[in-house]
């Protein structure tokens, strides 16, 4: 008889650092490693509880006096694009989507560098080289795809890469891990278009959700996410309709933010992973 000795995931907390979204706030993350045979089940389960993947790590904001960051997802069955989003789809109807294995290319990296230099020159990824870029794309212990969007480049069958999204395939949806696009096409709203196209793709394959990462009320960088129809946010341990974005703008009182030990104790793990947990 074969016996498997399960190992509970260990959770850790990062040191506080300046928040990239809200001035004057300190950011702190709760995270765990994503490795081994249970990686996919753990990613599926924790994604439903507001966690996000970065390479082989799952993380969730766990700031000591702020709970502004809210994981957001679109209910595919109920999503109806508004007039503005229909215009975005029309402007980009010549683009062709191709889903590939998570393998980095020089063409992707060139587009990535142009995107960062134009939009995030002072961000945490500004100094990323091609090897770090390859690690971001390729180091995935779960089912991931690189979704490339190309447009006709002129004569013949040649096409030009204009947008890329690294996407995880969860058991209940598509999770947009990271996306970038041609910064010279800002008026085409390629970031919005990729989300709309992922909604269409999820509908085609019968997945109920598209996970967008975090929406942060009060952050200009994140305002666009609140414009999507059928948007849900993960708050106080449950998914709920976004409703009026202004209702989420009020900062919680520091005493209402649960201690890290309580946050970890409330995490649900997949059945294959035991309930024992620790925080470091």
Co-location of 105 and 194 in the same domain = yes
Co-location of 95 and 230 in the same domain = yes
**Predicted pLDDT at 272:** 59
Reported as a single tens digit per residue, the pLDDT across 139-148 is 999 999 999 9
- Asked if pLDDT for residue 3 goes beyond 70, the answer is no
52-54 and 29-33 strand pairing: unpaired
Co-location of 172 and 55 in the same domain = no
> Is position 43 within any domain?
yes
CA distances from 125 to 96, 113, 128, 189 (A): 28, 10, 5, 22
Share of the chain above pLDDT 70, in %: 88
> Is position 201 within any domain?
yes
User: How many domains does the chain fold into?
Assistant: 2
Element (H, E) at 193: helix 190-205
Co-location of 120 and 199 in the same domain = yes
Alpha-carbon distance of 50 to 59, in angstroms, equals 9
Alpha-carbon distance of 149 to 95, in angstroms, equals 6
Task: Fill in the DSSP letter of residue 202.
Answer: H
Q: In which residue are the tokens 């059928």 written? A: 230
Residue 205, both tokens: 């394959």
Co-location of 60 and 89 in the same domain = no
Co-location of 199 and 60 in the same domain = no
Reported as a single tens digit per residue, the pLDDT across 86-109 is 999 999 999 999 999 999 999 999
Domain residues for the domain of 61 are: 11-68+251-265
Co-location of 222 and 258 in the same domain = no
> Is position 273 within any domain?
no
Q: In which residue are the tokens 């294995």 written? A: 101
Q: In which residue are the tokens 């949806």 written? A: 173
Query: What CATH number is attached to the domain comprising 214?
Result: 3.40.630.30
> Is position 277 within any domain?
no
Helix extents (H) in 8-164: 39-47, 83-91, 106-119, 130-138
Taking Cα atoms as reference points, which of 72, 26, 80 lies closest to residue 47? 72
**Predicted pLDDT at 123:** 58
Residue 48, both tokens: 């439903």
- Asked if pLDDT for residue 244 goes beyond 90, the answer is no
> Is position 274 within any domain?
no
CB atoms within 10 A of CB 127: 8
More confident residue, 101 or 156: 101
Indicate the pTM of the whole model. Answer: 0.90
Reported as a single tens digit per residue, the pLDDT across 191-233 is 999 999 999 999 999 999 999 999 999 888 889 999 999 999 9
Co-location of 107 and 207 in the same domain = yes
Co-location of 168 and 222 in the same domain = yes
- The stretch 29-39 carries a mean pLDDT of 92
Confidence of residue 4 (pLDDT cuts 50, 70, 90): very low
Reported as a single tens digit per residue, the pLDDT across 63-82 is 888 888 999 999 999 999 99
Alpha-carbon distance of 127 to 81, in angstroms, equals 36
> Is position 279 within any domain?
no
- The stretch 13-24 carries a mean pLDDT of 90
Co-location of 40 and 133 in the same domain = no
Reported as a single tens digit per residue, the pLDDT across 169-179 is 999 999 999 99
Co-location of 87 and 163 in the same domain = yes
Element (H, E) at 201: helix 190-205
- The stretch 231-238 carries a mean pLDDT of 93
Co-location of 15 and 138 in the same domain = no
> Is position 126 within any domain?
yes
Helix axes 190-205, 83-91, angle to 10 degrees: 90
Residue 216, both tokens: 């942060």
- Asked if pLDDT for residue 59 goes beyond 90, the answer is yes
- Tell me phi and psi for residue 260, to 5 degrees: -55, -40
Taking Cα atoms as reference points, which of 129, 218, 117, 125 lies closest to residue 178? 125
Share of the chain above pLDDT 90, in %: 68
């Amino acid at each position: 008889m074969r016996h498997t000795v399960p190992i509970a995931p260990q959770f850790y907390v990062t040191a506080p650092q300046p928040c990239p979204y809200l001035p004057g706030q300190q950011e702190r993350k709760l995270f765990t490693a994503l490795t081994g045979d249970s990686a996919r089940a753990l990613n599926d389960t924790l994604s439903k509880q507001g966690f996000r993947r970065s390479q082989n790590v799952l993380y969730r904001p766990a700031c000591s006096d702020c709970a502004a960051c809210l994981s957001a997802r679109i209910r595919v069955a109920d999503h109806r694009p508004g007039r503005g989003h229909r215009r975005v789809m029309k402007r980009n109807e010549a683009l062709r989507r191709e889903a590939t294995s998570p393998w980095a290319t020089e063409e992707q990296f060139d587009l990535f560098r142009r995107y960062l230099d134009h939009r995030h020159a002072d961000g945490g990824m500004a100094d990323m080289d091609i090897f770090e870029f390859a690690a971001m794309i390729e180091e995935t212990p779960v089912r991931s795809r690189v979704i490339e969007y190309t447009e006709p480049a002129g004569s013949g069958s040649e096409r030009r890469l204009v947008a890329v999204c690294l996407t995880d395939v969860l058991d209940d949806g598509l999770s947009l891990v990271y996306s970038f696009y041609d910064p010279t096409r800002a008026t085409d709203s390629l970031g919005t278009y990729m989300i709309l196209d992922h909604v269409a793709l999820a509908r085609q394959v019968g997945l109920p959700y598209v996970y967008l990462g975090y929406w942060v009320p009060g952050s200009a960088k994140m305002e666009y996410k609140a414009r999507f129809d059928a948007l849900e946010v993960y708050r106080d341990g449950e998914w709920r309709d976004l409703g009026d974005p202004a209702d989420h703008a009020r900062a919680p009182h520091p005493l209402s933010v649960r201690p890290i030990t309580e946050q970890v104790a409330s995490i649900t793990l997949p059945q294959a992973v035991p309930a024992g947990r620790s925080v470091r």
